[in-house]
Amino acid sequence: MGVGIEENAGTGTYDAIIQFNDYYSKLDEVSKEKIPPAVKQEIDLLLTLSSDSTKNIKATSQIETCIKIRRESLVAAITPQEQVLSEIGLTKKTAETLCAEKKAQLLSCQNELKIAIEKKKYQGIDKRGLTLELFKTLQVDIAISSAADLQEIVKLSPSELDSLFKNIALQKQFVDQFESLEMLVLFIHQTPIPKLQVLLKHCGQSLANKFILKPGDLSVLLISLDAERVSLIISMMMGKIKNAYDFVDLIENLSLEQSLLVCNALKEKLHDIIKTVSDFKYILVSLSSEQGALVFELIEHQLLNLIKTGEDFGIALAALAPEQHVLLFKAIKHKLPDLINTAIDFTCVVNYLYLEEMSFVFEAIKDRLPKLITNARDFHRILKNPFSKEQGAFILKIVEDKLPELVNTLADFELVVNYLSPEQIVFLCQGISKISVVINDIHDFKHLLKAASLEQFYPLCKTLMDKAPWLLRTGDDFCELITISPQEKQAFIFDLIKDKLPEIINDAHHVKIALRHLSLTQRAVLLALMKEKWVAIIKTADDFSDLLEFLSLEEKTDLFDLMKKRLPNLIKTARDYVNITEYLSSEQNSTILGLMQDKLPAIIEKVDDFIAVTACTESHDFLFKVMKSEFAFLIKNSKELNKLMNALSEEERIDLCKYELPLCRVIVNVGRDVPKITDLFQTPEGKRHFQHSYFKSLLAEIELDNNLKIQKSNLFCLQKNVASYFADKIPLSDFKEGVLMVIKELTEYSGKENYRPVILSKWKSAIITLEKTGAEVSPVDKLKNSKYDFQFFQSPKNTVAEELIPESTDRDEYGFHNSQ
């Protein structure tokens, strides 16, 4: 079987697998079905793994590729089944066929040989152990025409192969016999090293051109080879590795031992593969730490020549392990000052250094630092490194005088100011000649202040305000600044600019924003400063209410006393009235009501206005008294009617029912909304007033229906019945009977005219709702016990009506039930 290693089994195994596969493929399906399942499963797994070269790329991570494990599994499966397996073999027919094929092949070969000898055109294809000397003696031309010929040709000695393969045609024949990379791997495994060396010397490049299309292919070829063969193959095919990317693709999947062999074989070529420090970094970060250590050891001296700038040094150092880091720094440290010619060089050098190493570099170039800092970004690049407090102070000291020269934009200012002391900030601000170019507006100013620490904030804010007073020109500018946080910064800004506020604030909105963000003490100061300007800046009711929201009771009183005579002119809508009175006391609301009595009804344009105004002030009684005759025009639908009734007292509801409300028009779904509104009344008297009011609206509506053309006698009958019933002169049963007679007559008439008046359905539905007034029994039960049975008009969502009508009754052509 041969001796194997962890990543690669003994070479004899591959021959045995191939030979077994050849035999196994000739078994018929019946014979294969006799193979016990456990054995067949192991056979299929073995053949699958051996036919897929990718399974062995990372052999140690795929344990199922281990030949030892496969053998043990096969033995375990075969042992209990030996008797069964001994009876499985080629069928008699297959054996006879194979014998016939070989006999025919023999006869054919004999015939071909006879013809070739007669015509003297024969070539040596004898499978016996011939020698080169025999070929020459018989003057036979050697040809390689099959895979089997490969096994015969390697029986020649190395010297004979060397002599033979000088023939270019034979080299091509040799290469052509390999159909796959796997076949080449197998041949390399089986061929002794001396002979393999000769064959690769003559055919190695051609084989590489055929199968090694990329470095990964070469890795697949090497991964299963022993050390000696790896060295041999890589020395023959190293031309395929041209750069760092090829190098990584080649060795990243190899074992450490194989990687070492490859690196040693490519040692002399590494300087062509690794041309830059970036190549070196790519290789080290792509490989394992052990592989990286191998590469570093081989290229350590070459690496020094690749490092030409501080940036190069930083790139190289970033890829190294600590022990490699120390070695490189030790080898190059005296050369480092010469590599640092820019701030980028300096940052790249010190960025990965240990503190002691950084101190060495700092001392070596500290006097050159002013020359390295040519702009704000250079300043930032150098100061952001982890210097000691003394080193940082030294750098600031030596560049202090040129700080204003470094700042030409807002971005420059931000990069520099974060490293400065309060004194240096003052010096910088005072030294910038074109401050308006650096800080364009209040937004730039706020941006700087937000980013500054508290220690930097005070000198920065004061110095810039003194140098650039135009930054704060309007109330918008003030609002932009006063929203800054934390509170300490806000307080400082307010104290700094408070005396300018009466000059720049001309809008109540600005005052509102300020009051929202200021402390109570600061609010008092602002209100005192703005006292003389209230009349000028409060232009709308919203302005006034916005301010009231943030004032104390005493402050509200002072502002109210100042503005109360102007408030009627500011209040233009019910919303204005509500917003203002929300923050005032009852006494102050009474004052406004007195001032607004003549104007207040005019701003009530809808029911919601009335409810909102009366809900938060003392104006309810007054406003209802003057508005009750106007509600007929304000109520648009049953929802508004319901809301209004909810907002009134029982006495006011009854009082409202005395007016001609358009109840029939606003109540569409009678069966749902009339009972719902009736229930809002707390007394039987109130319920009866509302229902009387509703029937009066029905009378008005039916009289106005021109299509119905109601006769005076019918109208008089309805009016008489309504008046008599609600005057308690007739019982409900008589009222129903009298009304229904008219409704039936009108229904019959409208049917002849093809007109279906909704008003008639409303009358019927309204009669049903009468049962709600003071009743202990539901309208449904009372209706079922009465002598009448009729359907009332339904809206799409109303299903109660259907429940009221017995299924057995008949309906007329309009959907109404006929009385029995």
For 252, the token pair is 């990243």
Domain termination residue (choose one: 68, 89, 110): 89
| 572 and 530 in a common domain | no
Residue 5's closest CA among 211, 254, 208, 243?
254
Given this model, what pLDDT does residue 58 score? 57
The answer to the question of residue 42 being in a domain is yes
Residue 301's closest CA among 282, 276, 328?
328
The answer to the question of residue 172 being in a domain is no
Q: Cα separation of 770 and 690, whole Å?
A: 11
The answer to the question of residue 25 being in a domain is yes
Structural domains in the chain (count): 4
Which residues pair with residue 142 across a beta bridge? 124
Given this model, what pLDDT does residue 261 score? 85
Angle at 403 between CA 397 and CA 408, to 5 degrees: 165
The alpha carbon dihedral of 290, 295, 298, 302 has a sign of: negative
Instruction: List Cβ neighbours of 18 (8 Å cut-off, separation of 6 or more).
Output: 186
Q: Which helix (H) or strand (E) holds 141?
A: strand 141-142
715-736 core/surface letters (b: 16 or more CB in 10 A; e: else): eebbeebbeebbeeebeeeebb
Q: Cα separation of 328 and 303, whole Å?
A: 9
Domain termination residue (choose one: 55, 89, 123): 89
Q: Find how far residue 46's CA is from the centre of its chain.
A: 46
* HEC sequence for 51-106: HCHHHHCCHHHCHHHCHHHHHHHHHHHHHHHHHHHHCCCCCHHHHHHHHHHHHHHH
Q: Cα separation of 503 and 491, whole Å?
A: 19
| 665 and 757 in a common domain | yes
| 701 and 791 in a common domain | yes
3 state DSSP class of 777: coil
Q: Which helix (H) or strand (E) holds 451?
A: helix 442-451
Instruction: List Cβ neighbours of 679 (8 Å cut-off, separation of 6 or more).
Output: 772
| 651 and 622 in a common domain | no
For 591, the token pair is 């004052």
Q: Cα separation of 111 and 570, whole Å?
A: 126
Q: Tell me: cis bond preceding 486? Omega within 30 of 0 counts.
A: yes
| 658 and 561 in a common domain | no
The alpha carbon dihedral of 775, 779, 785, 791 has a sign of: positive
Given this model, what pLDDT does residue 152 score? 83
Residue 713, φ and ψ in degrees, nearest 5: -65, -40
114 to 118, 128, 145: CA distances (angstroms): 6, 18, 20
Residue 36's closest CA among 65, 93, 74?
74
The answer to the question of residue 81 being in a domain is yes
Under 8 Å between Cβ of 478 and 472: yes
Given this model, what pLDDT does residue 578 score? 92
Region of 709 on the Ramachandran plot (φ > 0 left; ψ -120 to 50 alpha; else beta): left
How many residues would you count in the chain?
A: 820
| 809 and 798 in a common domain | yes
Q: What is the gyration radius of the CA atoms in the chain, in angstroms?
A: 53
Residue 379's closest CA among 389, 393, 369, 388?
369
Write out pLDDT tens, residues 55-70. 665 555 667 777 778 8
For 152, the token pair is 């015969």
The alpha carbon dihedral of 101, 102, 106, 112 has a sign of: positive
665 to 73, 641, 693: CA distances (angstroms): 95, 11, 13
| Domain, as residue range, for 576 | 539-627
User: Within the chain, what is the greatest distance between any pair of CA atoms?
Assistant: 152
The answer to the question of residue 789 being in a domain is yes
**Helices and strands (DSSP H and E) totals, the chain:** 58, 2
Residue 102, amino acid:
K
Residue 210, amino acid:
K
| 665 and 556 in a common domain | no
Under 8 Å between Cβ of 271 and 302: yes
For 127, the token pair is 């499978």
3 state DSSP class of 797: coil
Residue 506's closest CA among 539, 528, 459?
539
| 781 and 653 in a common domain | yes
Under 8 Å between Cβ of 600 and 593: yes
The answer to the question of residue 711 being in a domain is yes
Under 8 Å between Cβ of 656 and 648: yes
3 state DSSP class of 771: helix
Name the DSSP letter for residue 471.
Answer: G
Task: Work out the number of other CB atoms within 10 angstroms of the CB of residue 353.
Answer: 22
| 545 and 533 in a common domain | no
Domain termination residue (choose one: 35, 65, 89): 89
Given this model, what pLDDT does residue 551 score? 87
Q: Which residues of the chain have pLDDT under 70?
A: 1-12, 14, 52-62, 120, 122-140, 753-754, 771-820
Q: Cα separation of 55 and 48, whole Å?
A: 9
Cβ-based burial of 124 (10 A; exposed 0-12, middle 13-18, buried ≥19): middle
Region of 577 on the Ramachandran plot (φ > 0 left; ψ -120 to 50 alpha; else beta): alpha
Under 8 Å between Cβ of 219 and 255: no
Residue 773, amino acid:
T
Name the DSSP letter for residue 811.
Answer: B
For 91, the token pair is 């069928």
Q: Cα separation of 629 and 452, whole Å?
A: 66
The answer to the question of residue 272 being in a domain is no
Q: Cα separation of 73 and 65, whole Å?
A: 12
Residue 59's closest CA among 258, 205, 201?
258
| 623 and 634 in a common domain | no
Given this model, what pLDDT does residue 814 score? 29
HSE of 639, CA atoms in CB hemisphere, 13 A: 2
| 798 and 658 in a common domain | yes
| 774 and 800 in a common domain | yes
The answer to the question of residue 168 being in a domain is no
Q: Cα separation of 442 and 440, whole Å?
A: 7
Under 8 Å between Cβ of 779 and 786: no
3 state DSSP class of 728: coil
Q: Which helix (H) or strand (E) holds 123?
A: strand 123-124
